[in-house]
Amino acid sequence: MKRLWCGGRRVARALHAVVSWGLVGIVALQTFYVGWAVLVQPGDWRFHTNLGHAIGGAIVVAMLFCAIGWMPARFWLAGLGLYALYSMQYLYLYWPSEAFRFLRAFHAPNALLIFGGALYLARASWRLFAQAGPPRAARLAVILGAGCLVIASGRLAGAGVEQGSGTARPVVLAEATEADVPTAYRTMTSPFPLGDARAREVGRDLVVSRCTVCHGTDLTGQTVGRVEAASLVESARTRSAAFLMWAVSEGSRRGMPAWKAQLTEEERWQVVAFLKSLAGGARPGGTAP
Ligand code: HEC
């Protein structure tokens, strides 16, 4: 009985090594997805966002194996510390006050701390696992397991992107018409009265910070990679508010990100309020006439 229990403990420690080395790989992959969103498909943070959640999951699973494997206190502390740093990543991004907007910049250096912490945890975990003198096959299994974990999480982040929002996600917006707008969006109403100046202003800040990378600084459209990011000035004239809300929320399979994960419904309506004012001659740099 005692031997069996010890065996279980050893397996848990081996799995802890798998997850913590996997974590190191996932954090490294996460920096690749930053490169993607900055240099390949500007503004396409979907892979990075999806994989970000996996990091929290991996830390929790590592702590679970830590408990099952009766691992020394320093592993607990490292796990808790990592989880605290991980939580800070969200805090930096979603700090409620605009006055502390600069805190967002700490998201990047904090990621370095997470990488360092994960590396410490993984090396310590491997040493503890190796001390018990595991057979070669077990060592190999841990290394392969960690590799598979990284590949699987990377793929999962991609799968989440592919599925997007299911049927509501249009294939190509440029070829869509008002008739394609799903009922859910056609029946939505904006909480802001038509021409609400404050909503337009908030909307303009959002558009300038999120949309100009692809749609151009004057929003008249440009080619991004191999796709054409539409002229939003043109869309403002030809598309209904419901169409714009649908396009902004769900994106398309041809390069337009789905913003509903990153902007609240209220913020998306503020974006639409600003877009609609473009038809009246407003521009991102100026004020509405
Ligand atoms: C990563 C680049 C990228 C970013 C960032 C981006 N877009 Fe787009 N957008 C596109 C591309 C590409 C298309 C054309 C997609 C298509 O036709 O399927 C598009 C299409 C659209 C359309 C539909 C235009 C039409 O009439 O067919 C709207 C509306 C739109 N974007 C609004 C926005 C808003 C608002 C933002 C910021 C919150 C934004 N986009 C950010 C790339 C981007």
How far, in Å, CA of 129 to CA of 16, rounded?
Answer: 9
How far, in Å, CA of 82 to CA of 91, rounded?
Answer: 14
pLDDT in tens, 187-207: 999 999 888 999 999 999 999
Reference 90, options 53, 45, 36; nearest CA is 53
pLDDT in tens, 15-47: 999 999 999 999 999 999 999 877 876 666 778
Residue 230 Cα to ligand 1 middle (Å)? 6
Report whether pLDDT(72) > 50. yes
Task: Look at residue 169 in the predicted model and tell me its pLDDT.
Answer: 59
In ligand 1, the atom with minimum distance to the C-alpha of 259 is 38
Residue 288 Cα to ligand 1 middle (Å)? 22
Residue 138 Cα to ligand 1 middle (Å)? 49
Q: Give me the chain's average pLDDT, please.
A: 88
Residue type, 112: L
Residue 1 or residue 157, greater confidence: 157
Report whether pLDDT(101) > 80. no
User: Is the CB of 229 inside a 6 Å radius of any atom of ligand 1?
Assistant: yes
CA 69, 70, 74, 77 dihedral sign is: positive
Q: Assign 160 a pLDDT band (cuts: 50, 70, 90).
A: low
Residue 49 Cα to ligand 1 middle (Å)? 19
Reference 174, options 254, 241, 236; nearest CA is 254
| Residue 167 CB contacts under 8 Å (≥ 6 apart), including other chains | 182
Nearest CA owner, ligand 1 atom 31: 256
Q: What does the pLDDT average to over 162-178?
A: 67
In ligand 1, the atom with minimum distance to the C-alpha of 172 is 18
Report whether pLDDT(90) > 80. yes
Q: What does the pLDDT average to over 213-219?
A: 91
Q: Which of 175, 214, 256, 277 to mutate to test the pocket of ligand 1 (most atoms within 8 A of CB)?
A: 256
Nearest CA owner, ligand 1 atom 28: 247
In ligand 1, the atom with minimum distance to the C-alpha of 44 is 1
Angle at Cα 34 formed by Cα 88 and Cα 215, nearest 5°?
115
Q: Assign 170 a pLDDT band (cuts: 50, 70, 90).
A: low
Q: What does the pLDDT average to over 162-186?
A: 74
User: Is the CB of 40 inside a 6 Å radius of any atom of ligand 1?
Assistant: no
- Residues 150, 26 contacting (CB under 8 angstroms): yes
User: Is the CB of 182 inside a 6 Å radius of any atom of ligand 1?
Assistant: no
- Residues 79, 63 contacting (CB under 8 angstroms): yes
Report whether pLDDT(159) > 80. no
